[in-house]
Each structure stands twice: as structure tokens, then as C-alpha cells.
Structure 1
Amino acid sequence: MDASSSTQVLTGPAQQRRKSHGNQGLRRYRRRCCIRGMNEAETVQISSFRKQLLRRRQRSSASKKNTVDVCPQVILDVGHVPLNAAQLKYLSRGPGYIRPNQSSLRPYHRQMNRVKKEETELMNKILKFFSENHYMPRSLPIFKQYAAQLHDCLVLRYTASLSFTDQIQARREFNLTKLIRRKFKRNKLILRETDRSGVFHVGRASDYEKKAAMYRIKTGAYEELHSNPFDEIFTKVEGTPLRPISNTKRAATTGISKYLDQIIRPLFDKYAKSTTIVDGVDLLDKLQRYIAAGYLTASTLFVTFDIIDLYTMLPQEEALAILAEFLHEHGCEKVEKISIETIKYYRQVIGGAMGSPFILTLANIFMWKWEKQTILSKISNVEVYGRYIDDSFYTSNETAEKVQEILETANRLHPNIKLTWKISKAVSFLDLCISNNDGHLSSSVYHKPRSEPSLVPFLSDHPRHVFRNIVHTALMRAIRYSSSFELFDDEQRSIRLLLLYNG
């Protein structure tokens, strides 16, 4: 028997399996070669790209020897800051800055989770709109087709490949953020957004605790509890091998506060419209009518005053009584079929929670009664008076001594309501600066001296229309507020500097 006759011949399924295994092995080998080639090409390309960046940075640094970088500054309230110049510059972009291409650094399953979440939120809004406003059933095939197209679009957006520049920038800013967080945690520092300037403030945790204690002593609005109010809840889960966590985000009081605000705020806006200032444009309109009636003279004074700590110093029982008086006076015995006696408010020693939706309406109604007793009853009906929450403005043709006497009397009326005021022919109110120049009104945009000139940085990952709207809004405000071309030209110059300042 020769060699050829002794060779085993494979036929049928066995031959197909051997051929299939051979093809799979060949495909795996080709795939490994392809991936290895792509990695090598990418390594060479990244190396070349880094050399280009280095040369560009060297040329840029050489050209910037005689220039000074400017940007919004972080407020540092500590002696030693464990951050270098690059980290401080990154924080100077402010709280409004969004790090670009964050999703590109996440694993694929997290990207898909984000796609699913956004798709669900968008589809719920779309289905709710068409079902409630156009009575279209949610089971229509067109909604399923749109959902599939939306899913494909979101997947394409989240998984799109980035250029080498964007990849390096995203990785660099991600590592920078992690390093800043690590340093803050190690040194027990706290990063917070300032209330008015819109920039970051860096302070120590111990300093924040001292300031909080001083504020509690100053206002007397809080009392220390000698026992934990959640102990009763925790005892109910004793013996359970889980850590009990109480979440008050969806508490009953939050929903009640929102509901009360929804039904009562429109009533206040309707009946207190004459004594409410919405913005600077609204105040200018009132002043123009005041001038047209011939009441502005060379001796007319402008008065502004501010209520100190209105929210936290609001007397609760008295505020609820004034709320009932407001509704009775305007014939609102029942609001949305709810009687006045039914409306109650959750308890705090003095004032209300800053984030509570209803506290703003309650404070406005309290001030409605206060200003009737103190200011409106003392000034002429022809004068302009208006209030924006805790900031008030009015005109007066009385002497400065008479105006001073009115404000001092108002300051003594209620122990919780204290004022700071200014009486002059040139004052600032909200973002508007107005002055009486021998009977002629002059107005311009007002910039607070302590506020940092910060905007959303142009490098932020916001939609492009946001930046167009920022410029458009600033210019429109300058046009509306500026009473002369010279003042508009000054404000236009300030806008240019502001945009350059924020990159």
C-alpha cells in the first residue's frame, strides 16, 4: 500500500468543521495583525503629533514674553494653596465651565447607559406633549420609528471618534480635575461658588464651620437640637444589615411648598404689580412715565434700600397672618378650592429655607404689608416706588433729611427687618445706574465693583448658541440702558474686554 493510499480522506461534516476552524484561525490572525498595525500607526502618529504640539508651544511661549494673561481669579481664603499655576488657571474658568468630551473617556457600557437615559427622558417629554396637547395615542408606530432614529443618533454622537487634539485635551483635563480633587481632600479644603461674583472660592472646612457658627449667633434664626430627629426613624430599622439613609429630596413638604407657590404667586404678581420692579428695563419705563408727567426736577432724589437677610429673618407666624390678610383683602377666600385656614407652612425658628419654592412668595407678601405701613403711606402717589424681592427704589421731591427720617422710622418698625440705604441724585439699582443731571435722567449699565467679570469660557463644552446669546444679551442691555451714545460706546468697550477676559 503506497503513501497516497494510506492517507485518511475526510468527507462530509468533518471536512466542513476543519475548513471552518481554519477560516476562523485565519480571521483571528488577520485581526491581530490589523490591530497591531493600527496601534503601531497610532503610536507613530501620536509621537509625531506631540512633537508638533511641543514646537507650537515653544513658538507660542516665545511670542508671549511681553504679554500678560488675564482671566477671572479664584478667591483664595487660605494661607497656603497646594495648587500650581496650571491648576489655578483651570479653576479660574469658573463654575459655568463644562469639560469638553467627557463621555469619550467613559467605558462603552456607561456611554450606552447615558444614551438610554437621555433617550428615555426625551421620549417621555415628546409623548407627554403629543398625548396631552394633540391627543395622539402613545402606541402609534411613528413614535417607535422616531425612538429608533433618536437612539441611533445618540449612539453616533456618544461613540464618535475624536481628533488627536481633542483626545489629548480631554485626557489632560480629566487628570487635572482628579488631581485637584485629591489635593483638596488631602488638605481639607472646600471649593464653593460665590453668591454674586460667579467665581470659585477656596476655604478651609474649619473656617466655614466658624462662619456658620457666627451667622447662627448673629441672626438667632436657628436653635441647636439636643437629639437627632432621625433617631426615631433609625430605631425602626435596627438589626437590619443595611445602612439606613433618609432622602428628603422628594419629601411631602417640598411638594406642598411647590404647590403653594404655584397657586399663590400669580395672585401676588397680579395685585402687587404696581409696586413690583421686574428688571432694569421695567424701572426705566416707570421713570420715563414719571418724567413725561413732569415730576422729575433738578432737586429730585433717588432712594434705594436693601433688606438685610430677608429670607432667614422672616417671622413665620406673622408672615402667615399677613398671607391670610392679603388673600382676604383681594377677595381670595379660597384658592384652587383650598380655604385660607387650610394653608400651613412647615416650622423653623425664624425665616425659611433658602431653596424652598414658596418662601419667595411668602416673603413678598410679608413685604407687601410692611411697605404699605412704612413707605407707601409716607410718600406722594405721584412718586415712583418699586421693589425687587429685598431691593427697593423710589423717587422723592422731599429734602434728604425728610427721606432719612422716613427710612429710620421704617428701620425701627420691625425687629427682624433692618435696612441699609442710599439717598442721592445718582444711585444704582439691580444692574442699572441712574442719575439726575439738573432734571435730565441719565442711565447706563451698572457693574458691581466687587463682582468678578466672569462669563462662560469660550472653551466650555456648551452649545454654540449659548455664546451667541451671551453677546446678544449684553449688547441689547447696553442699548436699552444707555441714555447716550457715549455711554453705549463705553459699555460696548467693556463687553469686548469682558469677552477677551474670559477667553
Structure 2
Amino acid sequence: MLMKGLRYIIPCQNRINQRRSKTKSAKMQYDIISNSIKKCVGDNQTSITDQRATQAFTELEHLIYQLYKKALSNKLYRRARREYKQVKKLQKFLHSRPDIILCQIDKSSGFYIGDAQTIELKAYEYMTTTNAYKEITNGHCPLAENSQLYDKLYPKTTNKSELAHFHGLPKVHKVGIPLRPIIAGIYAPATAMSKFLNSPLAPIYLKVARKTTFIHSIDVVRQLEIYITNGHFKPTTKFITGDVKNLYIMIPRKGALEALIRRLEKHSKARHIRTLHIDTIFRMTLTVLDTNCFAYKDKYYKQIHGGAVGSAFS
């Protein structure tokens, strides 16, 4: 993979994997491909349930099952086995070398291989420069306290509760390879509440910002065509891009909360958004912001400025 580039695909690894049957592997492969296609088609306002789509997905499923039933040639099978062993050898090597980091990069399908200590230093430099995080020095993990709050708010659907953790994605497209900080909190106590708040608040934002927000690339083209039709496109028209550094952390909490209250009051009916009272939404917002705690390198931290990168509410 390292020599042949990002587009290279190791052949027939599902055939080498003996833990799954061919039928199960074929079904998993069909689900991955079909779900990706359905999302793409749906994003472009095209039906995924009409006769053509139904026929196409049926044929796709049949094709994948046939490919899995077909025996591999001896040459291809030997190649697949050889590359399978190479990958396992590489995994074993990386496991024995904690000084090497292999991770996904920001805004690309590529990966970064480098010195783990360098990335660690960049992470500490980011936290020090932004001053957005405060180390919890009492030695107590905040998960227990946050979980108690979670237990009061939600019925138990899973026993898995986990403190968020910090990691950075190297921005190899920028000078100096800075990090994009991510607070990964999929099982954090306030994650469900963060996602829940997105439901009543996102429609308000979309309504307010629709005229100046593009949904996807096709929407850009359509809006540009309207812009030209209305006679706004001139020889002096300029296209300008901008980059906000540390966007999530730069958002002032006091100003953001005041803006949120104004929007809630303007778009509420009898001080309710759907079935939620706006005071309830505001208290839930404070809970999400006040429980942005995470672990990094055997230490606990609490975010004290802005919102967590990776949070649905942020």
C-alpha cells in the first residue's frame, strides 16, 4: 500500500478472512456499497425506490453474490495470500514500535506516518496556545460525576459509558502540518443529549441561514445560475475563500448563548420549540457545554472555551 499509493486496493482480502462465510461477506459488501450509493443518490434529490433503482440494486446484489461464489485463480489467490501476510507483518511491526504513529489525515483519504512524539508535542502546543482546556488535577475521573447526571436524564439503553478522548488529525495540506483537534465522545454521557438538541435547533439554523448556505455542490451550481440570471454576475465579481483558525474554540460562550436565546424566543410558539420549553433547551445546552471533559495521555481535561470539535451540538 505504501509503495503503490492511496488508490491501491489489496485484492480479495474477504476471501482470505476465514472468520466469515462467503454469503455473510457478500451481504456485508452489498450493504456497504448500496448504502453509499443510496446516500449519494438521495443527496442529489433522486429516487432510490422507483423501478429503475429497485432493479439496479437487485442486479448489484446478484453481481456481488456471483463474484463471491466464483473461485479465485491460483495466481490471484497466491497474490492475495502474500499481501495478506505483508499487512499482518506491518501491523505487528507497528504494534512493536510505539514511537511510530500511523493515522488518518485531515480532509483527505490519505494517511500520515511519522514520529509519535512530534504529534504529541503538536497536541500539547495546540492546547497551550488556545488556552481552551484546563487540566483536572484532583485525579478524579469526571466520567462518574457526568454519568450520574446522565442516569437522571435518560433511561438505560446500554451499559457502555466512556470518557471522551482527544486526538488530532494532521493537516498535511497546510504549512507546518498543524493538527485538527477532535474530541471523540461517542459514548460520553452528554453525547445523546448533544444529538437530541440538534433535532429542534438545526431547522431554525437552516431557515435563518438558507440564503447564504450551500447544501452541496449541486446547490452551489443552482444558486450561481440564479445569481447570473438576476444579473448580479459582473466582470468585477470576485470569488473569495477564507479560513477561520480554531473555529470551535473561538466561539465565545456568552455571546453564543445570548444568540441562541434570541433565536429561540423569535422562533418559539408560547416559548416552546416543538414540545420543548426554551428554558429546558437552554439548561440542556449548559449541561452539554459544561461536561466537555476528556482524557489525553493519562490526564483529564475540561474544555473551558467554545464547543467540543466532534460534538453534534457544537
TM-score of the pair, normalised by structure 1: 0.39
Q: 1:340 to 1:297 in 2, by over 3 A?
A: same
Distance 1:267 1:167 in 2: 55
Task: Please name the residue that 1:115 is paired with.
Answer: 24
Matched with 1:340 is 278
1:409-428 aligned within 5 A = none
- Matched ranges for 1:311-326 at <5 A: 311-326=248-263
Question: Which residue of 1 is the match for residue 117 of structure 2?
Answer: 206
Residue 277, structure 1, aligned to residue 185, structure 2:
no
The answer to whether the 8 A contact 2:195-2:312 is kept is: yes
In structure 2, the residue matched to 1:289 is: 226
**Residue in 2 aligned with 1:327?**
264
Q: What are the equivalent positions in structure 2 for 1:335-414 lying under 5 Å apart?
A: 335-343=273-281, 344-345=284-285, 346=288, 347=290, 348-359=303-314
Q: 1:268 is matched with which residue?
A: 205
Q: Pick from 78, 84, 88: which aligns with 2:2?
A: 88
Task: Map 1:221-260; keep pairs closer than 5 Å.
Answer: 221-230=132-141, 247=162, 249-260=186-197
Separation in structure 2 between the aligned mates of residue 231 and residue 358 of structure 1, nearest angstrom: 20
The structural deviation recorded for 1:301 is: 4.0
Contact 1:312 1:350 in 2 (8 A): yes
**1:114 to 1:337, Cα distance in 2 relative to 1, 3 A:** farther
Mapped contact 2:214–2:220 kept (Cα < 8 A): yes
RMSD: 3.6
Local SS of the residue matching 1:305 = coil
- Structure 1 residue 209: Cα displacement: 0.6
Deviation (angstroms), 1:210: 0.5
Paired amino acid for 1:341: D
How many percent of aligned residue pairs carry the same amino acid? Answer: 30
Partners of 1:311 and 1:115 in 2: how far apart?
42
User: Partners of 2:227 and 2:65 in 1: how far apart?
Assistant: 58
1:322–1:289 CA distance, 2 compared to 1 (3 A): same
User: In the TM superposition, what is the alpha-carbon distance from 1:268 to its structure 2 partner?
Assistant: 1.6
**What count of residue pairs does the alignment treat as equivalent?**
226
Residue pair 2:161, 2:187 contacting (<8 A) in 1 also: no
| Counterparts in 2 of 1:301 and 1:163: CA distance versus 1, 3 Å | closer
Kept after mapping to 1: 8 A contact 2:12/2:80: yes
Whole-angstrom CA distance in 2 between matches of 1:295 and 1:159: 58
How far 1:261 sits from its partner (Å)?
1.2
Distance 1:99 1:262, change over 3 A: farther
In structure 2, runs of 5+ residues without a counterpart are 32-63, 145-159, 164-185, 291-302
Confirm whether residue 164 of structure 1 aligns to residue 74 of structure 2: yes
Distance 1:231 1:328 in 2: 33
Q: 1:181 matched to which residue of 2?
A: 91
> Structure 1 residues 164 and 252 mapped into 2: Cα distance closer, same or farther (>3 Å)?
same
Code of the aligned partner of 1:247: E
Residue aligned with 1:223, SS: strand
Specify the SS of the correspondent of 1:274. Answer: helix
Which SS does the other structure have where 1:191 is aligned? strand
What is the CA–CA distance in structure 1 between the aligned matches of 2:245 and 2:115, rounded to whole Å? Answer: 26
What are the within-5 Å matches in structure 2 for residues 27-38 of structure 1?
none
Cα distance, 1:206 vs structure 2: 0.4
**What is the Cα deviation at residue 98 of structure 1?**
5.3
| Conserved 8 A contact 1:221-1:313 | no
